[in-house]
């Protein structure tokens, strides 16, 4: 029987397409469920099942009535809850709704980590309606202010003193009051979390959890310092250049975090920091790495991360999967300033850099672009492979240096 997999996604972006391609390769039947089509009937012609993320229970019932599924996969954080509810109703292995809810709320996650004895920074959350000057009085400086439920570092800001704190708080409040956030109607978006700043180098770990046990697929070093005031992701390179001992420490920390959160089955993407006191897990998301970044990973016989995840979702044993390249990496091309994206020069030169496999510009001409902390996207992605992590990093930097972006200053709207 052809394996049938339910893919729950918020948008029909790159990742959804990557899963559709992977399913085709594998000969799996992939059924998409998304909330972007409950008004129009099948507007994208992909026969997606319409669900409403703001109404998880009725969405679960809709999905449970769709017949047999052998596995479920969620793309991005928000769909994980419906994926978990549907999996429970369908009786297929996945994470519990409670576990994915913890992953999606930075306050709940921190509480679980603390209870499990994992190192955590000083942390507390306050309602966005609080007076920031009062909150600043008991903030540990330097600290990081963050929304509880956004991702891709959107709204995450470091503050070194009360003045910066008040400014950051108000900026985050404005983000949480924008229509694209309000429309999600999520309880956690009414709070801001304050955490003491954890200094150190940063890493991310991509993995698969099976029956609660973590299998590490890749440890990425993030060679650019992430010291704030905003935390822009740029370069990810694997394998890690850290010693075997340090890598064990990183993996052990993520393993404990996975247990603390109660994750049971499916992909994870973890972010963590390392300093003299040890490894500090920032978060574990119950989903694969975002954007186009998964393209940086290639497994045995050229298998993509999406193929691996689909196989795992239907219960295949993928425990022997290994990365096939000696080293690989991706650069998420940061947005240097806000404005109207007008174009880029130098893509050909960047693509010709030895080791660079692909330069993908995702910004569209005429698109309004916003840098962090308000924005949460990139201009594009550069992918490189090579014999060594240092070579891959150098290739990514060299390619980025070839790119010249044209961004026009957006004219302010004059209100009369
Ligand atoms: P998101 O889910 O939006 O990525 P995170 O909580 O992972 O939010 O934070 C984004 C980035 O901000 C992290 O990758 C890290 O660089 C930085 N950061 C977050 N919290 C802290 C902290 N307590 N100390 C130091 N850096 C932090």
Pocket mutation for ligand 1, best pick of 195, 229, 231 (most atoms within 8 Å of C-beta):
231
Measured from the Cα of 202, ligand 1's closest atom is 16
- Write down the architecture of domain 122-196 according to CATH: 2-Layer Sandwich (3.30)
Atom 15, ligand 1: residue with shortest CA distance: 231
Amino acid 41: pLDDT: 59
Pocket mutation for ligand 1, best pick of 106, 123, 139, 146 (most atoms within 8 Å of C-beta):
146
The answer on pLDDT for 410 being more than 80 is no
The answer on pLDDT for 310 being more than 80 is yes
Q: Identify the weakest region by mean pLDDT among 35-44, 191-200, 293-302.
A: 35-44
Q: What are the pLDDT digits (tens) for 366-384? A: 999 999 999 989 999 999 9
Cβ of 229 closer than 6 Å to ligand 1, yes or no, is: no
Give the H/E segment covering residue 360.
strand 356-361
Stretch 321-330: mean pLDDT, rounded? 97
- Ligand 1 center to 178 CA (angstroms): 21
Half-sphere exposure of 249 (CA within 13 A, CB side): 17
- Ligand 1 center to 198 CA (angstroms): 9
Q: How confident is the model at residue 416 (pLDDT cuts 50, 70, 90)?
A: low
The answer on pLDDT for 18 being more than 80 is yes
Cβ of 383 closer than 6 Å to ligand 1, yes or no, is: no
Cβ of 104 closer than 6 Å to ligand 1, yes or no, is: no
Q: What mean pLDDT, rounded, does the chain reach?
A: 94
365 vs 406: CA distance, rounded Å: 10
Domains 122-196 and 326-416 share a fold: no
Measured from the Cα of 121, ligand 1's closest atom is 23
Cβ of 148 closer than 6 Å to ligand 1, yes or no, is: no
Q: What are the pLDDT digits (tens) for 232-262? A: 999 999 999 999 999 999 999 999 999 999 9
Q: What are the pLDDT digits (tens) for 263-281? A: 999 999 999 999 999 999 9
Rg, Å, the chain Cα set: 21
Atom 12, ligand 1: residue with shortest CA distance: 231
Going from N- to C-terminal start, the domains of the chain cover: 4-101, 122-196, 326-416
The topology under which CATH files domain 4-101 is Rossmann fold (3.40.50)
- Ligand 1 center to 63 CA (angstroms): 34
- Ligand 1 center to 158 CA (angstroms): 9
Cβ of 60 closer than 6 Å to ligand 1, yes or no, is: no
374 vs 173: CA distance, rounded Å: 11
Cβ of 121 closer than 6 Å to ligand 1, yes or no, is: yes
The answer on pLDDT for 74 being more than 70 is yes
Closest CA relative to residue 215, chosen from 294, 81, 67, 317: 317
- Ligand 1 center to 193 CA (angstroms): 11
Closest CA relative to residue 31, chosen from 314, 321, 319, 317: 314
The answer on pLDDT for 38 being more than 60 is no
414 vs 404: CA distance, rounded Å: 30
97 vs 86: CA distance, rounded Å: 9
Amino acid 40: pLDDT: 54
Q: 76, 10 in Cβ contact below 8 A? A: yes
The CATH code of the domain at 326-416 is 3.90.1170.50
The answer on pLDDT for 157 being more than 70 is yes
192 vs 188: CA distance, rounded Å: 8
Give the H/E segment covering residue 32.
strand 29-34
The answer on pLDDT for 88 being more than 80 is yes
Q: What are the pLDDT digits (tens) for 175-217? A: 999 988 888 888 889 999 999 999 999 999 999 999 999 999 9
Measured from the Cα of 151, ligand 1's closest atom is 3
Q: Who's near 117: CB < 8 A, 6+ residues apart?
A: none
Stretch 30-34: mean pLDDT, rounded? 94
Q: Identify the weakest region by mean pLDDT among 86-90, 290-294, 327-331.
A: 290-294
Stretch 73-90: mean pLDDT, rounded? 96
Cβ of 274 closer than 6 Å to ligand 1, yes or no, is: no
Cβ of 106 closer than 6 Å to ligand 1, yes or no, is: yes
Which token pair is 384?
């490189």
**Chain centre to alpha carbon of residue 99:** 17
Cβ of 154 closer than 6 Å to ligand 1, yes or no, is: yes
CB atoms within 10 A of CB 252: 13
Stretch 113-131: mean pLDDT, rounded? 98
Share of the chain above pLDDT 90, in %: 87
Cβ of 188 closer than 6 Å to ligand 1, yes or no, is: no
Q: What are the pLDDT digits (tens) for 212-223? A: 999 999 999 999
DSSP, collapsed to helix, strand or coil, labels residue 85 as helix
The answer on pLDDT for 39 being more than 60 is no
The answer on pLDDT for 344 being more than 60 is yes
Stretch 7-20: mean pLDDT, rounded? 88
Report if pTM > 0.85. yes
């Amino acid at each position: 029987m052809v394996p049938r997999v339910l893919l729950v996604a918020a948008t029909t972006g790159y990742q959804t397409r990557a899963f559709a391609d992977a399913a085709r390769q594998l000969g799996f039947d992939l059924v998409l469920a998304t909330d972007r089509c409950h008004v129009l009937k099948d507007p994208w012609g992909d026969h997606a099942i319409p669900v409403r993320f703001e109404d998880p229970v009725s969405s679960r019932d809709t999905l449970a009535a769709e017949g047999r599924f052998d596995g479920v996969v969620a793309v991005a954080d928000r769909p994980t809850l419906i994926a978990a509810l549907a999996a429970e109703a369908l009786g297929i292995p996945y994470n519990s709704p409670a576990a994915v809810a913890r992953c999606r709320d930075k306050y709940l996650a921190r509480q679980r980590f603390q209870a499990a004895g994992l190192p955590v920074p000083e942390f507390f959350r306050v309602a966005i309606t609080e007076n920031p000057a009062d909150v600043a009085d008991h903030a540990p400086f330097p600290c990081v202010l963050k929304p509880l439920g956004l991702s891709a570092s959107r709204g995450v800001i470091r503050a070194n003193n009360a003045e910066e704190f008040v400014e950051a708080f108000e900026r985050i409040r404005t983000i949480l009051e924008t229509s694209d956030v309000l429309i999600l109607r999520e309880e956690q978006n009414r709070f801001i979390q304050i955490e003491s700043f954890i200094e150190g180098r940063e890493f991310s770990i991509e993995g698969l959890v099976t029956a609660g046990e973590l299998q590490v697929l890749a440890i990425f070093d993030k060679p650019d310092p992430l010291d704030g005031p905003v935390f822009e992701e740029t370069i990810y390179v694997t394998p890690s250049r850290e010693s075997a001992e340090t890598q064990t420490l990183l993996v052990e920390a993520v393993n404990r975090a996975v247990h603390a959160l109660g994750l049971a089955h499916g992909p994870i993407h973890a972010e963590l920091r390392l300093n003299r006191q040890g490894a500090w897990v920032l978060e574990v998301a119950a989903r694969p790495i975002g954007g186009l970044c998964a393209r940086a990973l290639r497994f045995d016989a050229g298998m993509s991360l999406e193929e691996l995840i689909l196989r795992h979702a239907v219960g295949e044993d993928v425990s022997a999967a290994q990365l096939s390249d000696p080293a690989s990496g991706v650069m998420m091309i940061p947005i240097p300033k806000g404005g109207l994206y007008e174009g880029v020069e130098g893509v050909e030169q960047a693509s010709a850099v030895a080791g660079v496999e692909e330069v993908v510009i995702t910004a569209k001409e005429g698109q309004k672009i916003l840098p962090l902390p308000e924005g949460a996207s990139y201009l594009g992605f550069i992918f490189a492979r090579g014999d060594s992590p240092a070579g891959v990093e150098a290739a990514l930097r060299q390619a980025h240096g070839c790119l010249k972006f044209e961004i026009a200053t957006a004219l302010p709207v004059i209100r009369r």
